[in-house]
Structure 1
Amino acid sequence: MTQPNEVARFWQWKWLFVMAWRDSRTHRRRLLLYVSSIILGTAALVAIRSLADSMELTVNLEAKSLLGADLSVSSGQPFPQPVRDRLDSLGGERSLQMSFSSMLVMPRTESSRLVQVRALEGGYPFYGILETNPSEAAQTFRKGPFALVDEGLMIQYALSVGDTVRLGASSFVIAGRLLKIPGETVAMSAIGPRVYIPMDRLEATQLIQPGSRVNYRAYFRFSPDRDVETLAVSLRSLRAQYFVNTETVEDRKRQVGRSLSNLYGFLNLGGFIALILGSVGVASAVNTYVRQKLATVAILRCLGADARQTFTIYLIQAVGMGLAGSLAGVATGIAVLYAVPAVLPDFVPFVIEVRFSWLPVLQGMGIGLLMAVLFSLLPLLPVRCISPLHALISAYEPEGRQPRDPWRILIFIVLAAWVIGFGVSQTRHPGQGLAFAGGLIGAFLLLNLVARGVIRLVRWVFPDSWGYLWRQGLANLFRPNNQTVTLIVALGLGAFLLTTLFLLQYSLLENLALAGSGDQPNMVIFDVQTDQKEPLQEIMAKNELKPIQQVPVVAMRIASLKGRTAEEIRSDTTGATPRWLVQREYRSTYREHLTDTETLIEGHFTGRASPAAGLPPVSIEEDVAYDLSVALGDTIGFDVQGIRIDTVVGSIRKVNWQRVQPNFFVVFPAGVLEEAPQFHVMVTRIDDPTTSARFQREVIRALPNVSMIDLQLIMSTVDAILDKVALVVRFMALFSVFTGVIVLIGVITNSRYQRVQESVLLKTLGGTRRQVMTIMVLEYVFLGSIAATTGVLLAMAATWGLAVFLFEIAFTPVVFPLIAIVLGVVAVTLTVGLWAGRGIHNRPPLAVLRSEV
């Protein structure tokens, strides 16, 4: 009995596939157009996952060149003698580097710039190369008063190889342009352009003064048989006692791997958004297709097909569409794969070599197919409810709501779980993934609700007083099968993403500008030694400048916290206190009052310590107090360059970090740190660029170790970083925008018959071609305007939330760019709509009126 059943089942399935193929015969081009909206989302996932495989392989192949050595040992203070003895015992080949910030003076252009100076001794990098132009400059700069200067800085200030620059009291000839450093990204040069000089020329610059913040690093190369990981473990005892950090090739691989994982996750989420948006387009298109097939379904039921069979026929078509779209997405993704590296060179510390592999292709194709099928199931479910009686009803249109279907609820649950699971899998912390999924689902729901609300509002307050053409163009938004809601969601999401990115970048820069407006300081002068305060004040007086603040700065570390020593906290891997907070160096100050950037939120600020009052009370910034888990009355012991000072938490402050002036985690009362080794920071305001340039030249000439940074430099640095990040974000946002355009093309093509019929009826009633075209243009203008306005308004709300709650800055709206975005979306909608609807008005009326639906 089993064999006949199997044969019958085979012939039954064969009939279902043949019937699905035959039924699609007259609509195959339309079905392929429906599914084309998932192509870009699938392509993005395939390209990004293939790129991740290529990068992972590159990291494994070039691991040593990412560090440039087998082992790196670093510290924020000079290596003490025990550390130097231990490093001497390691053997191998060694190279030393000292890095710090200082002002680079360019005499030819009479300008200066804060740079990251690196004094190098030895043959580092041992693996990989310092990429320079000319290439021999990587070696020749080590043999005299020469320097390698960051290429971006040389372009910005029109410097050439052979020009002279000055660091402190010494001059250097530019030996070459610095193009790339092993293990570092190009984006880092936007934060601090790098300048390399020989170590034996550092002392002559006179830049290293008491209080100077210098990073000391030793690089080692060992024989291939040396177990570097075991060696690094043996050096960990130096970390707790002498604040020494070690890094091996494996450590750098893990660090780069985490950074790349974050990058992959972000890009994958962007591609996934485009895929979901395209899947919504598929669901909308399949819904219209199925409604046009109701009569066919009813006839099949009359001929003996049951509900399961008719459902399966159209499910086979949906799976076929999804498979075709996924395959097209794979082909597009492979092409995109070779374009993505051009967007990311500033964010990865190596050259990306694209390699093809099958696993990412299969993963991307599987995700694309699954999303297309899941979203297609929603409009396919009502097919099971079509009865044979429907074949006898002319021009049947389903009315009223469909009965509640438990399968529909199950599919929604599966879709939500899939979105949440994908979001969590692409982020390091589950909370971030849940936030992404919630934000994405919320954005779709909001766009959908707003779209439906706007349509209902327009219907409710329909402008009867408008001219006929305007009223007809607006009424076309409610045409059957017009899918206005889907289009508003698709186009609105693209406008939402791009507008949010623009507004956030604008708000960040505007807040920086406001921080230096009015009478607020916009110039910070630091690394000022005590005996240099008077000469600096004379230069300021000469340029008619007034010091707004003069702040002493004392370097210290935490020695104990609430009775526990720093060593105990650092060795406790289960403790709640982050170890980096105990290991870091704190730059603190002392004064008798709060500044206008500080607000007292707990306790009492003590301006001057009294020996009779016991431990001196310090004021702690609120976030650091939270991370250290300290409250009023808790004790903190500080190691002030070898001297132990015990304190008690007397107050907790809120600090406005956006202002261009010194702010501190820890503020001591006067009467405690006056005799400690210290340097000073001064802030002033300079409104005239000419005065600013002259003042900087005079300060650097008289006090070469002093460094300066002004608001314009901060803004240009932040702007450069945001521009690099925005390029990647815009690249991913465009996938969503183009997906919306494809959905628009599909919708217009899908409703082509209704548009042809409407055009013919209008012509028959006396309408001219110009009037018919005007109605269509107005329809697309209304559609684009509603979508763009909805996306922009939601973007403003989202940016306000991000600005106020995440970045803690004021939200700064701007009018004209937002109007330009709205007009741009309208223009794209109109252009694509007219292109996709071309030829509609050329059909002869008689042929259309004779045709049957």
Structure 2
Amino acid sequence: MSVPPASDKTPVRAGWLLSMAWRDSRTYRRRLLLYMSSIILGTAALVSIRTLGDSMAAAIDVEAKALLGADLDINTRTAFSDSAEVFLRNLGGEQSRQSSFVSMVSFPRTDSSRLSNVRALEGAFPYYGVLETVPAAAAQSFKTDGTALVDDNLMIQHGVEVGDSIRVGMRTLEISGRLVSIPGETAAMSTIGPRVYIPMSELESTGLIQPGSRVTYRALFRFDDGVDADELAATHSADTAARWGMDWDTVRDRQAGLERSLGNLYRFLNLSGFIALILGSVGVASAIHTYVRRKRGTIAVLRCLGAEGRHTFAVYVIQAMAIGVIGSAIGAAVGYLVLGVLPVLIQDFVPFELVVGFTWLPLLQGMGLGLLMALLFALLPLLAIRDISPLLTLRSSVETPRRGNADPRRIVLIAVLVAGVVLFGISQTRVWLQGVGFAGGLICAFLLLTLVARSLITLARRIVPATWPYVWRQGLANLFRPDNQTVTMVVALGLGAFLITTLYLLQYSLVGHITQVGGDRQSNLVLFDIQPGQREDILASMRQNGLPVMQQTPVVSMRLAGLKGRTIAEVMADTTERVSRWPLRREYRSTYRAHLEDAETLLEGSLQPRADADGDSVLVSVEKGIADRLGLSIGDEVVFDVQGVPVKTTVGSVRAVDWQRMQPNFFMVFPEGVLEEAPQFHVVVTRIDDPQVSARFQRETVSRFPNVSLIDLSLILNTLNDILGKVSLIVRFMALFSVFTGVIVLVGVVTNSRYQRMQESVLLKTLGGSRNQILKIMTIEYLFLGAIGALTGVVLAFAATWILAVFVFNISYVPAYIPVLAVVGGIASITILVGMAASAGIYRQSPLEVLRAEI
């Protein structure tokens, strides 16, 4: 073995460092391959997700116009007036009109019904992209032959075919085509609200457009190349919003909105890869720590032969870099294999066909991040190399590295490591606050898991009763053996349990919250769009079916016309005004009554039961959230445009509303004696416990009152479960990267401690221990490691889910205990199986072989 001279003036040749790193790894290459596998999955996740993100961004640019289907979309909640139609025609271009609303549709052949999104269309829209139908000709022919296009999923659910009939309001139409896809809309939208297209010429005959009906009216444009839709929107949107309540949506607006929504999905997927890579890097650090301890003798010999600490340090840094480079390269290849599955999983949530292509940038980014994180984590245990003394060759049993906890190099490296994790988190989320928060949360989870592991070691050392059977005492004693890997194993297992359990508990809480909303004798069926002349008949039908009337409420549509003595146009034109634009332009569904409902709490002022006879003093009650957005307080003046009639009011009270209750809630509540003569519809709320009675009542109601729509809690639950099921599939698929990485780290940790277990096994055999005893000792050790890691992860998951449920989703926290116990048992079992498999053959080792290995 040749080494360079010890003099500082003689530089070390790079060739010697490389050849020494290669020669030194000869007997450990198989184990080094296991070490590098820890970062393969993390790098694979990063490469696949970043490539997917680039492909989505490119597709949004290419499909920008098809996402909107037009150059310009102008929509409003009220029918276009004559003056508005004149304005729209003067904009020029080719135009289409669409009216959309939610209504019950029924299928006579199967005697079934479903709340659907009905759209009446006139014109050649979509101008970009196509309505994909089966047969294809139906996409155009339905507009002229008086037929309907029905969502494919809706037809499958109700067992109808092309040629059958669909009843929309008072009109029965033939189904001429299955609606497969719509430009700019995802497949998941058909689950939430299945779409039904009818010709505009058939809309009036349905009888569904009644006073107070909630309809969205759209004017859709295609312009010549010389017309800039964004410039038109910038010029006219503010004025038309104030005059007619119009919202303008251009291709650029739709593109920006889609980028924001897909950006959330992209950030989540990125964070999944982030966790996998960090966990893999921890595995690398643990493996390098064990590797360096085994190499202390070799390093001491090199120091005796003249190599300096920095020389030996460089040799093992090269090996760590090789692990990172090769592992990242393999991970990149695996990442492109993953791209065969990931786009399929998220296709339902993307409003265009997702085609993934090869690009160099995400490949290099993923490999670079994988190498960087692996190297940063590996440097921490490698620092010990610089402190290994040549005297270690003579007194290896007592010589330890001369390094304290306050080693400046170690402190600096830890600071760099933390900063790297934070910067990595920011790069993944692309929002610095989210990145810092996520990285901070992950660091806290690591610290908590580490604290639990160290506490476990302390407890195992101090409180194990001497009366316990020997195999139990020895199995627990193994948790604090020299060179134990207890901390690493608890961190790896705990993080995997934390991810899996958090995802499950969050879905369980979302579904459980909806179930609770309909429980405890709360309402579970809402009937809306009831016209004044139908109300008594509806109530009579409910009495015949023995159904309680839990709430009946009139609803009146209106808009804001003035605020604190100024018109809405003046408020919106005032750039110094901090009032949010959304509540100024929206349509308000308000009611009138003399009392508060059980979902409301009076915060300020008093509720006026009935307005004065002269109508000069109308005190309206405002919901707190909208009051804050509009900057309203007690005594402020608010003028409403009630379908063309100005109504002047004063804020008389402020209410808190529980929006999660399944009943009609309102931003504005008027006193009685003001809105009775205004165009309105009614909402009735009831509860039906028997599913058969509910189905029969809904069929009868839709048959007698086609314009009345019903919202059933069971429909909400089924829809939520369907959507969450699809989302959970994506989430769990990405979580598998972290779980599999944890398993690989577990295998690596067990393999690293194999020599210590071999020594222990030989010693026990020499002292008369049986094979059965040794296996029991190892099983108990792995049982405690798996159970403690899983339990800690589960406790963290309970805490994280509670925070997400209460502070992010604003829902009640619904814990699930039995499934979580299954997670703990499953992880403990996996730990035992993996540990025993990786320790196979230990008992067969003879004492002589172990002694020779030591020599």
Amino acid aligned to 1:512? I
The 8 Å contact of residues 70 and 220 in structure 1, kept in 2 or not, is answered as: yes
Q: Which residue of 2 aligns with 1:3?
A: none
Contact 1:470 1:778 in 2 (8 A): yes
Q: Give 1:342 deviation, angstroms.
A: 1.2
Contact 1:145 1:171 (8 Å CA) reproduced = no
The answer for the alignment partner of 1:620 in structure 2 is 622
Using structure 1 for the length normalisation, give the TM-score.
0.95
Unaligned runs of 5+ in 2: 1-7
Structure 2 partner of 1:754: 756
Q: Which residue of 2 aligns with 1:461?
A: 463
Q: Conserved in 1, the CA contact under 8 Å of 2:130 and 2:182?
A: yes
Whether 2:311 is the aligned partner of 1:313: answer no
Letter in 1 for 2:766: T
Q: What per-residue deviation string (whole Å, max 9, x for no partner) do you get for residues 614-635 of structure 1?
A: 6422222222222223233333
Partner residue, 1:29: 30
- Residue type at the aligned position of 2:184: G
Q: Give 1:429 shift.
A: 4.8
Q: Tell me whether 585-594 or 105-114 shows the greater mean CA deviation.
A: 105-114
> Where in structure 2 are the equivalents of 1:551-566 lying within 5 Å?
551-566=553-568
User: For 1:381-400, what per-residue CA distance to the aligned partner results, in whole angstroms no more than 9, with x for missing partners?
Assistant: 22222222222213346489
Indicate whether 1:388 and 2:390 are aligned.
yes
1:678 and 1:393 mapped to 2: Cα distance? 94
Q: What is the match of residue 292 of structure 1?
A: 294
RMSD across aligned positions (CA): 2.4
User: Are the counterparts in 2 of residues 47 and 336 from structure 1 also a CA contact under 8 Å?
Assistant: yes
How far apart are 1:35 and its partner, in Å?
A: 2.3
- Superposed, 1:177-192 pairs within 5 Å as 177-192=178-193
- Amino acid of the residue matched to residue 187 of structure 2? V
Alignment correspondent of 2:136 = 135
Please state if 1:843 is matched with 2:845: yes
**Do 1:262 and 1:428's aligned partners in 2 also have CA atoms closer than 8 Å?**
no
Q: Secondary structure at the match of 1:140?
A: helix
Kept in 2: contact 1:426–1:433 (CA 8 A) = yes
Query: C-alpha displacement at 1:707, in angstroms?
Result: 0.5
Find the counterpart in structure 1 of residue 155 from structure 2.
154
1:401 Cα deviation after fit: 7.3
Going from structure 1 to structure 2, the CA distance change for 1:426 and 1:22 (only over 3 Å counts) comes to: closer
Q: More deviation in 612-621 or 684-693?
A: 612-621
Report how far residue 182 of structure 1 moved: 0.5
C-alpha distance in 2 between matches for 1:428 and 1:242: 38
Cα distance in 2 for residues equivalent to 1:323 and 1:613: 79
Match of 1:103 in 2: 104
Hey, what does 1:58 align to over in structure 2?
59
1:513 lines up with 2:499 in the alignment:
no
Give the drift of 1:428.
6.3
32 and 299 in structure 1: CA distance in 2 versus 1, 3 angstrom threshold? same
Change in Cα spacing, 1:144 to 1:95, as seen in structure 2 (3 Å) is same
- Alpha carbons 2:460, 2:480 under 8 Å: kept: no
Kindly provide the amino acid, as one letter, of the partner of residue 148 in structure 1.
L
In structure 2, the CA distance between the partners of 1:195 and 1:468, relative to structure 1 (3 Å rule), is: same
Q: Pick closer, same or farther for the CA change 1:81–1:800 going to 2, 3 Å.
A: same
Q: Distance in 2 between matches of 1:108 and 1:436?
A: 53
**1:377 and 2:379 matched:** yes
Q: Counterpart of 2:5?
A: none
Separation in 1, partners of 2:767, 2:383: 40
Displacement after TM superposition at 1:89 (Å): 2.6
- Aligned counterparts of 1:231 and 1:341: Cα–Cα separation in 2: 37
Report the equivalent of 1:787: 789
Instruction: Please point out which of 825, 831, 834 is paired with 1:832.
Output: 834
Q: Which amino acid aligns with 1:268?
A: N
The 1-side partners of 2:648 and 2:468 are apart by: 79
- For 2:676, which of 660, 674, 684 is the aligned residue? 674
The residue identity in structure 2 corresponding to 1:847 is E
Using the alignment, how far apart are the partners of 2:575 and 2:419 within structure 1? 35
Most deviating of 219-228 and 610-619 = 610-619
Superposition deviation, residue 218 in structure 1: 1.9
Matches of 2:451 and 2:12, distance apart in 1: 46
Maintained 8 Å contact 2:384/2:403: no
Contact 2:274–2:425 (CA<8 Å) still a contact in 1?
no
Aligned to 1:4: none
Corresponding residue of 2:91: 90
Does structure 1 conserve the Cα–Cα contact (< 8 Å) formed by 2:40 and 2:330?
yes
Residue equivalent to 1:732: 734
1:570 to 569, 572, 576: 572
The residue type equivalent to 1:717 in the other structure is T
Aligned-partner Cα distance in 1 for 2:517–2:641: 34
Partner in structure 1 of residue 586 of structure 2: 584
Equivalent pair of 2:623/2:656 in contact (CA under 8 Å): yes
> Could you tell me how far 1:310 is from its partner in structure 2?
2.2
Q: Residue 666 of structure 2 corresponds to which residue in structure 1?
A: 664
Choose 680-689 or 516-525, whichever is displaced more: 516-525
Corresponding position: 1:125 with 2:109: no
- 2:347 aligned to 335, 345, 348, which one? 345
- Larger CA deviation: 460-469 vs 501-510: 460-469
2 CA distance for matches of 1:674 and 1:454?
70
Q: Structure 1 residues 574 and 726, CA, compared in 2 at 3 Å: closer, same or farther?
A: farther
CA shift in 2, pair 1:156/1:458, >3 Å: farther
- State how far apart, in whole Å, the 2-side matches of 1:612 and 1:489 are: 73
**Is the contact between residue 73 and residue 245 of structure 1 (CA under 8 Å) also seen in structure 2?**
yes
Cα distance in 1 between the residues matched to 2:265 and 2:336? 19
Superposition deviation, residue 655 in structure 1: 1.6
Taking the aligned partners of 2:399 and 2:660, their CA distance within structure 1 comes to 61
Q: CA offsets, 1:214-239, max 9 Å, x none? A: 11112222334444433444442423
Aligned AA (2:726) = K
Once residues 408 and 402 of structure 2 are traced to their aligned partners in structure 1, the CA distance between those partners, rounded to angstroms, is 18
How many Å apart are 1:572 and its aligned residue?
4.0
| CA apart distance, 1:828 | 2.1
Decide whether aligned partners of structure 1 residues 627 and 231 sit closer, same or farther in structure 2, where only a CA change above 3 A counts: closer
Instruction: Name the residue aligned to 1:39.
Output: 40
Bigger mean CA offset, 798-807 vs 730-739 = 798-807
TM-score between the two structures when normalised by the length of structure 2: 0.95
Comparing 841-850 with 271-280, greater Cα deviation is found at 841-850
SS in 2 for 1:733: helix
Aligned to 2:777: 775
Equivalent residues in 2 for 1:471-620, closer than 5 Å: 471-573=473-575, 575-610=577-612, 615-620=617-622
- 1:10–1:164 CA distance, 2 compared to 1 (3 A): farther
Q: Please say if 1:216 is aligned against 2:217.
A: yes
Amino acid at match of 2:168: L
Greater shift in the superposed pair: 481-490 or 225-234: 225-234
- SS of the residue corresponding to residue 417 of structure 1 reads helix
1:843–1:798 distance in 2 versus 1, CA, 3 Å: same
Amino acid at match of 2:659: W
**2:447 aligned residue:** 445
CA shift for structure 1 position 838: 2.7
Following superposition, the deviation at residue 611 of structure 1 comes to: 5.8
Q: 3-state DSSP class of the match of 1:196? A: strand
Moved more, 522-531 or 295-304: 295-304
Q: Which amino acid aligns with 2:733?
A: F
- Aligned partners of 1:381 and 1:581: how far apart in 2? 60
Question: What SS class does the counterpart of residue 17 from structure 2 fall into?
Answer: helix
The 3 A distance-change label for structure 1 pair 624 and 226 is closer
SS in 2 for 1:600: strand
- Is the 2:171–2:206 Cα contact (8 Å) retained in structure 1? yes
Paired with 1:13 and 1:615, the residues of 2 have a C-alpha distance of: 90
Residue 122 of structure 1, CA deviation? 1.9
Aligned-pair distance for 1:496?
0.8
1:480 and 1:626 mapped to 2: Cα distance? 62
Letter of the 2:565 partner, please give it.
Answer: G
d(CA) in 2 for partners of 1:458 and 1:341?
47
Is residue 204 of structure 2 the alignment partner of residue 203 of structure 1?
yes
Residues 443-493 of structure 1: CA distance to partner in whole angstroms, max 9, x if unpaired? 221222122223323333214333222332232222333311111111111
Once the 2 structures are TM-superposed, how far is the Cα of residue 47 of structure 1 from its aligned partner? Answer: 0.7
* 761-770 vs 164-173, greater mean Cα deviation: 761-770
The structural deviation recorded for 1:739 is: 0.8
Q: Does 1:688 align with 2:706?
A: no
- Whether the aligned pair in 2 keeps the contact of 1:482 and 1:747 (CA below 8 Å) is no
SS in 1 for 2:231: helix
Identical-pair percentage: 59
SS in structure 2 of the partner of residue 841 of structure 1: coil
Deviations 1:694-716 (A, max 9, x none): 11122112211110111111111
CA drift at 1:279: 0.8
